Structure 1
Amino acid sequence: MLIGAHGLVFTGTFDEAGLRRAIEGTRSAGFDLIEIPLMDAEGFDSAAAGRLLRDNDLAVTASLGLTSETDLTSEDPAVVAAGVATLERCIDHVATMGGDVLCGVIYSAMGKYMAPASDKGIAHSQAAISGLAAKAAERGIRLSLEVVNRYESNAFNTGRGALRFLDGVEGDVSVHLDTYHMNIEESDFFQPVHDVAAAGKLGYVHIGDSHRGYLGTGTVDFATFFRALHDVAYDGPVVFESFSSAVVSAELSNTLGIWRNLWQDSDDLAAHANRYIRDALHAVDTIDLH
């Protein structure tokens, strides 16, 4: 199991200076992996990122959220095609960096919709994800679809909803669970992990508290969640995600509603999160001794 941190814990920009700050900060905090957000798929320098990753001996994954111009659930084929092109570019970036996962809200736009998803839109997204999964597999990369709350997608908002969506998808595509979003949408932190794992689809995990600040200071039931991961023998990436208006770019801050400055010291926050996650995983491992 690789324990990681999201790049936005350290920087809101991902030019070479921002990449260096995020990658070196992730390594210094004790993590094994960094998740790099591909907010600018056209301008991102994945070759430079790859060099920095190798220099710091870090594994890498990448994520993004699509926009209204690249929404795979659009009924407009041109918009869907634009989304596919963006994701193909992102797959190239992941391969260049040496990563093996592209995750996030890669099946719809990330943002508040004003109506339910249409059957036609869902079908468009399922077909596009199927094709992208095949292209990703050729590069040794798998896709993982993040389950987000009702204010960030209308395609699905629970683990079971993601499984229903995947019923219409071909290829090696997994479900990406996030405790911040689960705290809003799920009935508990135990059953969704078991449901998705039983289907063989649990592929990626985000750890974030209810306010997206320091772990353990919000309302997320981490004890139950980590015990569920232990029960299903989950061995995929576990990645810490936290946002503050002091670090996140203004554009993304507006998209995600990051109106408050919950922390200022990225290094302290990250080091605390690394300890918190590793201690929690170790604690549930000891249950086997009881």
Structure 2
Amino acid sequence: MKLAVTIVQEASQAAPFVLRGNFEASIKKAAEIGYDAVELHIADPSEVNLEAIQTACSLHGVSVSSIGTGLAFLRDRITLTHPDADVRKEAIKRMLSFIQFASKLDCVVIIGLIKGIIKDNGDGQHYHQLLNEAMLTCIAAAEQAEVTLVVEAVNRYESDFLNTIEESIIFVDRFHSERLKIHIDTFHMNMEEDSAGANIKKAGKRIGHVHIADSNRRYPGKGHYDFSETISALKEIGYSGALSVECLSLPTPVEAATGAHHFMRGLL
């Protein structure tokens, strides 16, 4: 397993992204701290200089583990299940651009908030129909581009669909694609899972990405989450992807990144 840290150019201070500002500078800082990879959080790939990111990663010896798509929802308010058909088309178009962007970086693409929530659609049956149609389109593009999509299990206070690993297993199995996997997050698991270790083992090879934050969404070691159980279960299922630190940037971004790295290296 490799350690990654989330980086973002601009976001609310309440958002759980660690290193902030210029991407190239954050990539350099992540490498200096000792991270193996970075997770890019972007709203629209067309606004990002891909070549500059590739150059910075090559220069500093890190890779891109993953692309977070949540800013497309937070900034532009687009979702795959939006009641407005034009907004849905834009969300699918954006997802396809994320997939092509990821194909150049050999990384996974996260599907979290961009999937939308049932209450915003207003019709559960319609929501599931729209999400299934959108996922089929995205999966087909991901298979062609050889990119893995990971659907995030998010706690009930932020999402009203796919809160647990068990629900996520049922969802991804429906599509019968090796390019669709489950994305777990220790912050959300702390609220939703009856046994994080057992449920990770149940998911097995379906696990495609992991977010790391403590129970209070501070960096690991600042709360009460049992990371040793999670790491043990991930090792047992042979998970070899990234553990990506997605936590509040407190007390400062660099202190959060450094503290998380020190704690997680100790466990690994």
Normalising by structure 2, report the TM-score. 0.86
Moved more, 45-54 or 141-150: 45-54
Shift of 1:180: 0.4
Structure 2 distance, partners of 1:168, 1:76, is 26
SS in 1 for 2:247: coil
State the Cα deviation string for residues 182-227 of structure 1 (Å, max 9, x = none).
1111113212201211xx3111111111222231121212121112
Shift of 1:134: 2.1
Shift of 1:106: 5.8
Amino acid in the other structure paired with 2:106: G
Normalising by structure 1, report the TM-score. 0.80
Given the alignment, which residue of 172, 182, 189 partners 1:175? 182
State the Cα deviation string for residues 32-58 of structure 1 (Å, max 9, x = none).
110000123342222221221121121
Amino acid in the other structure paired with 1:43: E
1:142 aligns with 2:183: no
Structure 1 distance, partners of 2:216, 2:67, is 23
Shift of 1:113: 4.6
Amino acid in the other structure paired with 2:152: E
State the partner residue of 1:212.
Answer: 217
State the Cα deviation string for residues 135-178 of structure 1 (Å, max 9, x = none).
12222211011111123222210011112222332422000000
State the partner residue of 2:263.
Answer: 276
SS in 1 for 2:4: strand
RMSD: 2.3
CA contact (8 A) 1:38 1:90 kept: no
State the partner residue of 2:101.
Answer: 93
> Which consecutive aligned stretches of 4+ in structure 1 deviate over 4 angstroms post-superposition?
111-117
1:221 aligns with 2:223: no
Q: How does 1:124-139 map to 2 (within 5 A)?
A: 124-139=130-145
State the partner residue of 2:200.
Answer: 193
CA contact (8 A) 1:5 1:239 kept: yes
CA contact (8 A) 2:69 2:110 kept: yes
Structure 2 distance, partners of 1:230, 1:118, is 37
CA contact (8 A) 1:4 1:238 kept: yes
Q: Identity across aligned pairs (percent)? A: 24
- Structure 1: give runs of 5+ residues left out of the alignment: 245-261, 282-290
Q: Which has the higher helix share?
A: 2
Matched positions, count: 254
State the partner residue of 2:3.
Answer: 3
SS in 1 for 2:135: helix
State the partner residue of 1:259.
Answer: none
